[in-house]
Structure 1
Amino acid sequence: MSTLRARLGEAGEREAETYLIGQGLKLVDRNYRCRAGEIDLVMLGRGEDEVEVLVFVEVRLRGAGAQVSALESVDEHKQRRLILAARHFLMEHPDWNEHPCRFDVIALDTASDRLRWVPDAFET
């Protein structure tokens, strides 16, 4: 049986996926897990000059009373884990190695029912 928190997280990831597909991105993988961590969504999008870009998406959900915002919760430690998980994904899927990559964050604030997409949220 899943917890309320897990169900909310899954709903947030589905909302983020639907939003990104509506913005023209295509789903490659969801909930990619390895020892280094998890990548919520792996999408294929367009970068500058319409070049295909592999997008690693972190979905963060925060409710009323959270100590930090959803966006602020993607701190240096979380960024390092995402980078390691992305490297693992690329080792496991070498056909994506030639694509440029970026890290996006979808921040969901349940208190204000607001979704914020931050493309290229941090650099490796």
Structure 2
Amino acid sequence: MSAAIDFSDQLTSEDISLTPAATEVMAKLFADVDDDDITAVRVFVSGGGCSGMTYGMTFTGERFDHDKVMQAEGFQIFVDSFAHNYLKGVEIDYVENGMNGASFVFNNVFASTGGSGSCGGCGSGGGGCA
């Protein structure tokens, strides 16, 4: 007889952490959204192949059964179970790069997956980033 695996839908700071700069910018972006159907920021992983994984964020109004949730200051973060496996221990920061603009940066991402580790922000180009 096998034991059932418990599923926790809560993210902890050991799963994902946000720097104060990232928290401030995300809260502002979320507050500026003029759509009552938007309830959270979804952090996702996509890609693979030669350039590795890509980490990004988008606004969402949909929570799925296997999403993990973090309550942040002024917004929620959703991460699906697949992405969670690649994001454990990630720190999301917001970095201003002078003339190159500013972006969210994913630090300490799952080392063996590679990936870009940066994101243009939830409000850029079509509501997401890659």
**Do both proteins adopt the same fold according to a TM-score greater than 0.5, normalized to the shorter chain?**
no
- What is the TM-score normalised by the length of structure 2? 0.29
Higher helix content, 1 or 2: 1
Q: Which has the larger radius of gyration?
A: 2
Higher relative contact order (CA 8 A, sep 6+): 2
- What is the TM-score normalised by the length of structure 1? 0.30
